[in-house]
Amino acid sequence: MKSIQITICKNGECNNYRIPKEYGFDLVDMIALSNPAEAKMSGATMPEYYIEKIEIEE
């Protein structure tokens, strides 16, 4: 069983989230959101959030 562990930060405060693989979570979208310029181009309204770390767990 794989899951995705993701650390999302805002203003220096970071939170960890674990997402079960069966949710079909789209990592490509989250990686795009971790880049503020890319996020602005895609119309996202939260460029102050960024991804600190993504880990795929077995």
Domain boundaries, the chain: 3-57
Q: Report residue 8's pLDDT band, with 50, 70 and 90 as the boundaries.
A: confident
Is residue 57 scored above 70 in pLDDT?
Answer: yes
Contacts of 9 (CB under 8 A, 6+ apart): 15, 49, 50, 51, 52
Is residue 47 scored above 60 in pLDDT?
Answer: no
Lowest mean pLDDT among 5-9, 40-44, 50-54: 40-44
Report the run of H or E that residue 29 belongs to, with start and end.
Answer: helix 27-33
Q: Report residue 46's pLDDT band, with 50, 70 and 90 as the boundaries.
A: low
